[in-house]
Amino acid sequence: MQIISGTAVAEKVIEECRREIAELTAQGRKPGLAVVLVGDDPASRAYVRSKDKKCRDLGLHSVKLELPATTTQEELLAHVRVLNNDPEIHGILVQSPPPKHIDEAAIVRAIDPAKDVDGFHPVNVAKLALEDPTGFVPCTPLGCQRLLIDAGIETSGAHAVVVGRSMIVGKPMALLLMAKGKGGDATVTVTHSRTRDLAAITRTADIIIAAIGRPHFIKAEHVKEGAVVIDVGINRVDDPTSEKGYKLVGDVAYDEVAPKCRAITPVPGGVGPMTIAMLMANTIKACKQSEQR
């Protein structure tokens, strides 16, 4: 059984990014990423900190904009407009979820699609569906696809079952797996919380992408012998034996599922590290494409 290390593949992606940044720097260009955080959600703050740290480590131009929870919709839109017009910024990311009074969809639509390195703007969603390579793909599903490719998992002709239908992971993941070419050409079934007899469907899968946001949801009964399982879930569950009082687990009951698998990602250390690595790659792509506009 192969354990697919997201940490190792993410390092590989980061090294590729480092080389590309060196080439761009030699040409007098520097990719720039702006991350906007509204409010003080601890998990969001930790994500923003790690993104900023990775940017600085790679030598990207990094702008971290931390706004109070009282920031209005109009104030946030004004910040987005400034970043849209800043030639030093190639990628803009507004950390999700914002406070409840903010209309997140409107903020996403306000970001210049050419700077939408999260891949959530309707233009980029359409480009993914149309298999237009100039679009930006959401970082987590893009990272999942890269893990499959690097692990030597053949997706062409395989039956892939995506568990979850969010715009962040499930839907873009299905489109990526269906697309023509490397890491694609799969036959894809999308399942979700309303799917009847889920286990009967997932047991037919050669590849399962678990992205439903429920701890240990996928059990041994959901998986056939020799399947490949990519666990996107990061769930915090109570653990009195841990120093922090909690531990991170995936959407897959790893201990009972892993023995049946040909390959599986762990949590932590699987999909998680890939998300930030692909964000860096998307930012570099945005910088390169900005010269062509």
53 is catalytic: no
Yes or no: say if 263 and 228 are a contact pair by the CB < 8 Å rule. yes
β-bridge mates for residue 66, sequence order? 37
- From the candidates 54, 115, 116, 118, give the one annotated as an active-site residue: 118
Q: Which of 95, 116, 231, 285 is catalytic?
A: 95
Strand 246-249 relative to strand 235-238, pairing: antiparallel
**Whole-angstrom distance, CA of residue 72 vs CA of residue 99:** 10
Locate 141 and state its tokens. 């599903």
Please check whether residue 63 is in contact with residue 31, taking contact to mean a CB–CB distance below 8 angstroms: no
Cα within 13 Å of Cα(171), Cβ side:
12
Active-site residue flag, 51: yes
Task: Give me the DSSP letters along 217-263.
Answer: -B-GGG--TTEEEEE---EEEE-TTSTTSEEEE-SB-HHHHGGGEEE
- What does the alpha-carbon distance between residue 160 and residue 204 come to, in Å, rounded to a whole number? 9
Q: What is the DSSP string of 11-57?
A: HHHHHHHHHHHHHHHHTT---EEEEEEES--HHHHHHHHHHHHHHHH
Q: Is there a catalytic annotation at residue 95?
A: yes
Residue 214: CB atoms within 10 Å: 14
Q: Per the residue annotation, which of 51, 54, 171, 285 is the catalytic one?
A: 51
CB-CB neighbours of 245 under 10 Å: 10
How many CB atoms are located within 10 Å of the residue 20 CB?
18
What is the set of active-site residues? 51, 95, 118
